[in-house]
Amino acid sequence: MIEHLIQKYAAAVPRYTSYPTAPHFHEGIDSGVYVSWLDRLGADNDLSLYLHIPYCDRLCWFCACHTKHTLKYEPIATYLKSLHREIEKVGRHVSRAATVKAVHFGGGSPTMLRPDDMVALMDCLRSAFSFSPDVEISVEMDPNDLDAGRYDALAAIGMTRASLGVQDFDPKVQRTINRIQTFEQTKSVVEAVRARGVHSVNCDVLYGLPYQTLTTLAETVRQVISLDPDRIALFGYAHVPWMKKHQTMIPERALPNVMLRYQQMVTAAQMLVAAGYVAIGIDHFAKPGDSLSMAMREGALKRNFQGYTDDSADALIGLGASAIGRLPQGYVQNMPATGEYERMADGDDLCVVRGIELSQEDRVRAFVIERIMCDFSLDLAGLATLYGAAASDAIDEVLQFARVEQDGLVAMDGDVFCLTETGKPFARSIAAAFDTYLSSGRGRHSVAV
């Protein structure tokens, strides 16, 4: 039965870290539109900042992030000058009454930055925006980049959460994906950041990698658990060589089939739950006392481009090449090409080149999809209260889906649309049923399991 469902529902669909999804952004949302949206942010708006560092000193072949390989620091130094310029320009359009509650450094490899550049970048942010005294600062870290100076710089900028990509500790898998990172290296990073007062450590683990078996994955999960991280993300490897050419370096014959991927996911998830972690949505796990677990219990779990989050900010401001932002009016994305981004940042305009303004129907369907992805349920009465008549079409579609679905994936509990235990692994596919953009054919996605 489960194999039949996997084959039926493992079609390629979005991960729904936004709605509408990025392939549907368009050039009608430009710098001028973005300025008008920024100008409306004020005392009623909490902010999050995302900074993209699009460089790595090695290119992991599994990676689908917007990044490039460099062994020289000069391109990074040049990029940072433009990033400072963009921060200053965006900051001039944001009221100082709006408060930054969270900052996330992503990439690429933010820990490639030299210690003084890391501190200078945070100083630039603090000059441009108003920060909350208890701001959360998270940094994606590559253990191969780190040394005492960088650890001290991360402490100096106030890092509160360290995010480490583990992927897999098996040597054969690591060689095949060009990600050599030992357990001992990773453990030393965890110990070093905790010694400097970091209160939360996240680890990312991948299943569906080449040459990965149930046995090797279970050993990686066991080692990760031994590090006692506060959160663990268990992602399925997204093989998208049509988007990321370096993924052609991965031999497709070595990739597990969809049934083995499912078994890997279930095995790893069961191990994490048995170790005391709370399952969050489709691919996150957290300690019971972690803020992510508390957000889930309170129905306040959110989803953004970093995955599941307890960040309740009204606006996410993306800074850097390819960065995506979300404001009350809609989504924006910066120029992806690094050279063009630098040219735009050094000019008079902002760096946004596309985006989408949300219609009321978009807001309704974004709510439907986010609750399915976060809660595995949707309160139809609550949806009607929030959006009134604008929600009627979506409510009708949800009820119709529940009536005709014959595989036991969903059920109605009064006015609440619920995913069953059988249906939860297929949340992406169920959410996709309410995506009115999906049939337009824009964008190709990874498999849903």
In angstroms, what CA-CA distances link 399 with 14, 44, 177, 411?
A: 22, 36, 44, 10
Residue 12 domain flag: no
Structural domain of 205: 21-357
Structure tokens at 357: 């303004």
Q: Which pLDDT band, with edges at 50, 70 and 90, does 440 fall under? A: low
Which of 357, 372, 393 is the C-terminal boundary of a domain?
A: 357
Question: Rounded to an integer, what distance in angstroms lies between the CA atom of residue 145 and that of residue 125?
Answer: 23
Residue 34 domain flag: yes
Query: What is the structure's pLDDT at 79?
Result: 98
Model confidence at 441: pLDDT above 80: no
Model confidence at 306: pLDDT above 90: no
CA atoms within 13 Å, Cβ hemisphere of 107: 27
Query: Same domain for 300 and 411?
Result: no
CATH number, position 185: 3.80.30.20
Model confidence at 275: pLDDT above 70: yes
Query: What is the structure's pLDDT at 59?
Result: 82
| Pairing mode of beta strands 307-309, 324-327 | unpaired
CATH number, position 406: 1.10.10.920
Cα-to-chain-centroid distance, residue 153: 24
Which of 306, 333, 357 is the C-terminal boundary of a domain?
A: 357
The letter for the amino acid at 383 is: L
- 3-state class (DSSP) for residue 284: strand
Torsion of CA 26, 31, 34, 38, to 10 degrees: 160
Residue 13 domain flag: no
The letter for the amino acid at 396 is: D
Query: Same domain for 245 and 316?
Result: yes
Residue with tokens 């084959």: 7
Mean pLDDT of the chain: 94
- 3-state class (DSSP) for residue 189: helix
Which of 311, 337, 357 is the C-terminal boundary of a domain?
A: 357
- Of 108, 106, 95, 119, which is closest to residue 68 (Cα–Cα)? 108
Residue 384 domain flag: yes
- Of 334, 241, 244, 317, which is closest to residue 22 (Cα–Cα)? 334
Question: Rounded to an integer, what distance in angstroms lies between the CA atom of residue 290 and that of residue 310?
Answer: 10
Residue 1 domain flag: no
Query: Same domain for 328 and 424?
Result: no
Query: What is the structure's pLDDT at 443?
Result: 47
Query: Same domain for 326 and 392?
Result: no
Query: Same domain for 61 and 187?
Result: yes
- Angle between helix 74-91 and 338-345 (nearest 10): 50
Query: Same domain for 381 and 284?
Result: no
- Classify residue 422 by burial, with Cβ atoms within 10 Å: 0-12, 13-18, 19+: middle
Query: Same domain for 111 and 162?
Result: yes
| Each residue's pLDDT tens digit, 312-337 | 999 999 999 999 999 999 999 999 99
Query: What is the structure's pLDDT at 412?
Result: 98
288 contacts: CB under 8 Å, gap ≥ 6: 276, 278
Residue 446 domain flag: no
| Each residue's pLDDT tens digit, 6-56 | 888 877 889 999 999 999 999 999 999 999 999 999 999 999 999 999 999
Structure tokens at 5: 């469902």
- 3-state class (DSSP) for residue 204: strand
- Classify residue 72 by burial, with Cβ atoms within 10 Å: 0-12, 13-18, 19+: exposed
Query: Same domain for 273 and 404?
Result: no
Question: C-alpha angle with apex 335: 331 to 338, nearest 5 degrees?
Answer: 145
Query: Same domain for 237 and 345?
Result: yes
Query: Same domain for 186 and 320?
Result: yes
| Each residue's pLDDT tens digit, 377-388 | 999 999 999 999
Average pLDDT rounded to a whole number, residues 295-323: 95
Question: Rounded to an integer, what distance in angstroms lies between the CA atom of residue 348 and that of residue 345?
Answer: 7
- 3-state class (DSSP) for residue 53: strand
Query: Same domain for 382 and 396?
Result: yes
Model confidence at 395: pLDDT above 70: yes
pTM for this predicted structure:
0.93
317-320 own/partner pairs: CB under 8 Å, 24+ apart: 317/38, 317/47, 317/48, 317/49, 317/50, 317/90, 317/94, 318/50, 318/52, 319/49, 319/50, 319/51, 319/52, 319/83, 319/86, 319/87, 319/90, 320/50, 320/51, 320/52, 320/53, 320/54, 320/83, 320/86
Query: Same domain for 278 and 427?
Result: no
223 contacts: CB under 8 Å, gap ≥ 6: 169, 183
Q: Which pLDDT band, with edges at 50, 70 and 90, does 447 fall under? A: low
Residue 444 domain flag: no
Residue 133 domain flag: yes
Q: Which pLDDT band, with edges at 50, 70 and 90, does 444 fall under? A: very low
Domain count, the chain: 2
